[in-house]
Structure 1
Amino acid sequence: MDSRSQEAHVTSTAVQTTPEVSPEKYDLVIIGSGTGAKLSAWTLGKLGWRIAVIERQYIGGACNNIACLPSKNLIYTAQISSYAHRLKEFGMEATNLTVNMSGVRERKRQMVNGEIEGDSNLFRLTGGELILGVGRMVGPKLVEVITNDGKKRLLEGTQILIGTGSRAVIDETPGLRESNPLTHIEALELGIIPDHLVILGAGYVGLEFAQAMRRLGSRVTLIDRGERILKQEDPDVSEAVLDLLRYEGIELLLEATVAYVSGESGKQVSLTIDQSGRQVTLNATHILVTTKRIPNTDGLGLDSAGVETNAEGYIRVNEHLQTTASGVWAVGDVAGTPKFTHAAFHDFQVFTDNVSGGHKSTEGRLIPFCLFLDPELARVGLNETEAKARGIKYRLFKLPIGVVLRARATMEKRGFMKALVAPDSGKIIGFLSFGANAGEVMAAVQMAMIAGLPYIALTDAILTHPTMAEGLKFLFLSQLTGSEIT
C-alpha cells in the first residue's frame, strides 16, 4: 500500500466484533490524533479523565507529519535557496551553488521526528493511552480497534470524539492514477529535484509547492480549471499573485483541463490538455496532484452509531460540534471545519468546553488564513467581493507595501495592504496583506477586530519602527481611500 492511501485514512478492513472481546471502559475514546483530537486528549487527561486515542499511522496528525509543518520547512528552505541565488543584490558573491534535495529532505525529517517525539511524550505525561491501530464504531459509544500488531480490542467511551481528518484524492482523469502521480505526501519526500514538475490545481497547496519547487531548481508548470487563480479573492489579489508566479518563472495554464495522461511520474509523463478550445500536449518528469480532498469517514462504522454525514461525506455537527448521536462529537476537517490547523485548534476549545458543561460555539468565529508564498498572502474577515455580494457598505483603504518603511529598508516592496471599514462605526470588517510578514501583520488587525476597536485605534497606537506592522498606521492614515462603496 502506498503512502497516498495511508494518509490519516481509516480503512474498512477491520475484523467483525466477536462476543469474546470484552469492552474496556473509558471516559473518552478518540479516533484520530490530529490537532483537535490530541489537544482534547492532553487537556482532559490532565483533569483526570481516562482516555484512549486510536491512531492509524501519523502520531499527532497530518499537520505535523505530512502537511503544514513539513511543507513550511520545505518552503523556508526554498526561500533560503532564493536568497542564495540573489547574493549579488546584497553585495555578495558565491559560485557553484547547488541544492542537495536529499539534505533538504533530511532536515524536514528531523523536524517531523522531533514533533512525533514531543507529541508521544505529551500523551504519556497527560495519561492518555495512545493505541496504534484501526478503529471503527460498532455500536453506540462502542469502538472496535484492530491494533497494528493484529490484536483486537473493544473500547466503550462515555464520550466519543472523531478527528480523523481528510486526505488528498486523485480524480478519474484517464491515465492519471496509472501514472502514479505525487500527492503532497510524496512531494515532501522527494530526494531529487524534478526536471519538470507539473502541478494540477492552483489552490493553497499547489501554489506553495509551485514556488518552492521552482526556487529549488525545477521547471514548474501549474494547471488549473479556473479562469484566474485564487478565484475566491478579489481580482486585484489574483492578478498580483499571478504576476509573482510569472516573475518566478512558473508556467501557468488557466482554463485548462487534463484530458489524458500517459507514462509514469518520476520518469516521463505526457499530458493531453484542453485549454480554451484547443488541445496541447505537455511532457514532464513528475506530476503533483493538489486538486481535491475528501473526509476520512469511510470505514468508521458511523451508521452503526447513528452518526450522520452530509452528501460530501463530512460528519454532521451542530455549533457545539455534537454529531447526530448522543455523546459522539467530531472536530477538524472530518467535521467540515475549514481546513486550517488553527480552526481545528478552536474546535478543540469548543469541544472541551461543551463536554465539560459549557456552551462555547463555532458560530460567528473569525477564521484567518495565510498562504505561505514569498511574500505571504494573509486575510481575515470580508473581502470586497464578499461585501458587495452581501450588500455591505464599506470604506476601502489600500496601500502599496513599498510605502512601508520596513519594506523600503529591506527592498522587498512587492504587494499591498487593504482594509474594509464600516462607514458608520469605523470598525474593521476585513483586512488583507500581500507582502512580507503578512501573517504576523494580519494578527494585529484581527485582535482589533475581535475587540471591536475602530480603525483609528491603530492610527493612534505607537507601533515600533521600522516593522511591517507599522504599515498599518500608514494604511489607515493614507489618502488612498476610496469613497463609500455599496
Structure 2
Amino acid sequence: MNKQYDAIIIGTGQAGVPLAKDLAAAGKKVAVFERKRFGGTCPNVGGVPSKTFHASAKMLYDTKRAAEYGVVVQGLIKSDLKAIVARKNAIIAPIKKREDKFKALKHIDFYNQHARFSGTQSISANGTILTAKFFFINVGTRPRIPSYAYKVDFLTSTTILDLEMVPEHLIIIGAGAIGLEFGQMFARFGSKVTIVEMGSRIVPREHEDVSIAVQQVLEAEGIIFRLNAECIDCNTSKNQIEVHLHCSGSEKDRLTGTHILFATGRQPNTDDLGLEKAGIERNDNGYIKVNDLLETNVKNIWALGDCNGKGGFTHTAYHDYQIVKDQLLGNGKRKASDRIPCWSLFIDPPLAHIGLSKKEALAAIERDNFLLAQLPMEHVTRAIEKGDTRGLMEIIVHKKTKKILGATLFGVGADEVIHAVLQNMYCKGTFEELRDAVHIHPTVSEFLPTLMEKLKPLK
C-alpha cells in the first residue's frame, strides 16, 4: 500500500513539530514520523530535565550557605534524589498533552514508527511506502559511547536522570558541557565526583584564563579533575568500577568508583535512515551535509536540527525551522550563516559565550585590529550583594569598525546578561552604543557600559 503526501517530516524535535504545524495550517498534507519520544531530546532527556536537576542542586547549595546571609536553617540539609526525579517527571509530563494536541491537528498523519528512505522521493515504514514532494530530516543525536564502556554498567546523560540514589563516587568521562554540569550537580547532591578528560584543560573553546576560572570554581566544590588522560579503559573489580587513565597501568593511574557517566559527546541518528538509497551525503562524523539554506545534496530534502551539524542546540534547531519555513512560506531570505554562534554552560555560576573567543582572536591574522575589555566579577556590585563574585567578563571589539566581535561572561546571571551584547551584535551596533547606554542599577548588566570603558589592545 502506498500513500502520497505533500511533505514528510522524520523526527519531532524543535524544528520538526513547528514546521509540521505551519505546513498543515497552509493546507498541506503532512506525514510525521517519530520512532521514540515526541518533542526530541531537549524537553524529554536534555535541557529541560537537566535544568530541573540544576535548580535542585542550586537550592541545596544556597541553603547550605544560608548562614553567610544571616539566615538560620536548622536540621540536616541533604538531597532527596527520588523527590528531585519526581519533580523532573512532573515538569516534563505536559509533553504528553502537547503530543495529543499535535496528533489531533488537521492535515497531519502521525506515525509512531521508524522510517527509512527507499528512494529520493519515498520512504518505507512497516511495509508501507510513502511518497512526497518535500522531505525534512529532524532526527537529532544520541550520546556517543566509546567501545570500552560496555565492559561495565554505565550511565549516560539520559539514564542518569532516572537515578534514585546518589552515587557514592561518580566518575565522569569527559569534561564538556554535560560532564561539567552533571559533575557539579551530583557533587552538590552529595557524591564524590572525579572528572576524567583526555585534553589538557576543560572548556577548550575558550582562552586559558576562562578554563582556569571555571576549573577553580568546580574544584572549590570538591570536584577532582584528572586531565591529560590517555588509554582510558575500564572494568569491574570487586563490585566497583575501575578506570585506567594512562598506558602505564600503574596504581596511581587508576580510579575506583561506584558509578560512571560517559559524557563523551553525541552522535547523529543518521545511521539507520536509508540515506544511501536516496543518495543523501553525510560527513565523516555522520552529520548530514547541508548548504546555507539547510538543503541536502538531493533536491527537496532538508536536514534540520542537531543531525546537520550546524549548531547542536535547541535554539539553533528552532532557527533551522525558521529558515526552512521562510523558504517554503516566506520570502526566502533567512540562512544559517545569519546567526551568531552563542551557547551557555549551565554550571553555577553560568558561563555564556557569543561570537569570537579570546582564544580565536589571538590566533587570528588580524589580531592587531582587536581590542579586549576585561572585568572580574568581584568588581560587580550586584555580584557582591548576591554573595557570589566568582568569574569574569570579557568582550572583544574590532578597533576600526568599533563592532563587538564576541563576548564571554562567567558569573552571576551571565546566561541572561549576555543577550544585551548579542542584541547589539545582531543590530550591527558599535561598542560605543553599549558603552553609552544607561542600564538599571543594581544589576549585572549595569556593568556592561563600564566594561566597554576598559578596552585595551589584545595581548
- TM-score in terms of structure 2 length: 0.95
Q: 1:274 aligns with which of 246, 251, 259?
A: 246
Structure 1 residue runs of 4 or more that deviate by more than 4 Å after TM superposition: 275-279
**Identity of matched residues, %:** 34
In structure 2, relative to structure 1, the CA distance for the partners of 1:469 and 1:123 (3 Å cut) is farther
Q: Which residue of 2 aligns with 1:68?
A: 47
SS at match of 2:31: strand
Distance in 1 of aligned mates of 2:96 and 2:292: 31
Matched, 1:476 2:456: no
- In the TM superposition, 1:225-244 aligns within 5 A as 225-244=198-217
In structure 2, relative to structure 1, the CA distance for the partners of 1:126 and 1:455 (3 Å cut) is farther
Q: Which residue of 2 aligns with 1:335?
A: 308
Q: Which residue of 2 aligns with 1:4?
A: none
In structure 2, relative to structure 1, the CA distance for the partners of 1:417 and 1:280 (3 Å cut) is same
> Is the CA contact 2:294–2:324 (under 8 Å) kept in the aligned structure 1?
yes
The residue identity in structure 1 corresponding to 2:451 is L
Distance in 2 of aligned mates of 1:427 and 1:71: 35
The residue identity in structure 2 corresponding to 1:65 is N
Q: 1:84 aligns with which of 63, 73, 80?
A: 63
> Is the CA contact 2:169–2:192 (under 8 Å) kept in the aligned structure 1?
yes
In structure 2, relative to structure 1, the CA distance for the partners of 1:374 and 1:335 (3 Å cut) is same
Matched, 1:461 2:437: yes
User: CA shift at 1:307, angstroms?
Assistant: 1.0
The residue identity in structure 1 corresponding to 2:96 is I
> Is the CA contact 2:11–2:40 (under 8 Å) kept in the aligned structure 1?
yes
- In the TM superposition, 1:46-445 aligns within 5 A as 46-91=25-70, 92-125=72-105, 127-146=107-126, 152-173=127-148, 176-257=149-230, 259-263=232-236, 268-274=240-246, 280-356=253-329, 358-392=332-366, 393-445=369-421
SS at match of 1:274: coil
User: CA shift at 1:234, angstroms?
Assistant: 0.5
Structure 2: which 5+ residue stretches go unaligned? Answer: none
SS at match of 2:375: strand
Q: Which residue of 2 aligns with 1:17?
A: none
Distance in 2 of aligned mates of 1:108 and 1:218: 19
Further displaced range: 289-298 or 272-281:
272-281
Distance in 1 of aligned mates of 2:327 and 2:248: 51
In structure 2, relative to structure 1, the CA distance for the partners of 1:126 and 1:343 (3 Å cut) is farther
Further displaced range: 296-305 or 352-361:
352-361
> Is the CA contact 2:63–2:73 (under 8 Å) kept in the aligned structure 1?
no
Q: How many residues align?
A: 454
Distance in 1 of aligned mates of 2:172 and 2:23: 42
Distance in 2 of aligned mates of 1:202 and 1:369: 16
Tell me how large the CA RMSD over aligned residues is.
1.9
In structure 2, relative to structure 1, the CA distance for the partners of 1:276 and 1:36 (3 Å cut) is farther
Distance in 2 of aligned mates of 1:415 and 1:180: 36
Structure 1: which 5+ residue stretches go unaligned? Answer: 1-20, 147-151
SS at match of 1:81: helix
User: CA shift at 1:359, angstroms?
Assistant: 3.9
CA deviation digits over 1:419-475, x for unaligned, max 9? 011111221111110011111111110000111111121222221111111121221
In structure 2, relative to structure 1, the CA distance for the partners of 1:127 and 1:120 (3 Å cut) is farther
In structure 2, relative to structure 1, the CA distance for the partners of 1:465 and 1:221 (3 Å cut) is same
User: CA shift at 1:124, angstroms?
Assistant: 2.9
SS at match of 2:272: coil
Distance in 2 of aligned mates of 1:245 and 1:106: 27
Distance in 2 of aligned mates of 1:456 and 1:128: 50
Further displaced range: 362-371 or 102-111:
362-371
> Is the CA contact 2:205–2:357 (under 8 Å) kept in the aligned structure 1?
no
Distance in 1 of aligned mates of 2:174 and 2:401: 40
User: CA shift at 1:276, angstroms?
Assistant: 9.2
The residue identity in structure 2 corresponding to 1:388 is L
Distance in 2 of aligned mates of 1:277 and 1:179: 18
Distance in 1 of aligned mates of 2:132 and 2:381: 57
SS at match of 1:243: helix
User: CA shift at 1:127, angstroms?
Assistant: 4.6
> Is the CA contact 2:229–2:246 (under 8 Å) kept in the aligned structure 1?
yes
SS at match of 1:133: coil
Distance in 2 of aligned mates of 1:139 and 1:377: 45
Distance in 2 of aligned mates of 1:287 and 1:474: 44
SS at match of 1:63: helix
CA deviation digits over 1:241-273, x for unaligned, max 9? 0101110100110001354312289x5211122
Distance in 1 of aligned mates of 2:107 and 2:64: 49
> Is the CA contact 2:103–2:110 (under 8 Å) kept in the aligned structure 1?
yes
CA deviation digits over 1:8-61, x for unaligned, max 9? xxxxxxxxxxxxx2x211111011111111121122222222111100111000
In structure 2, relative to structure 1, the CA distance for the partners of 1:126 and 1:256 (3 Å cut) is farther
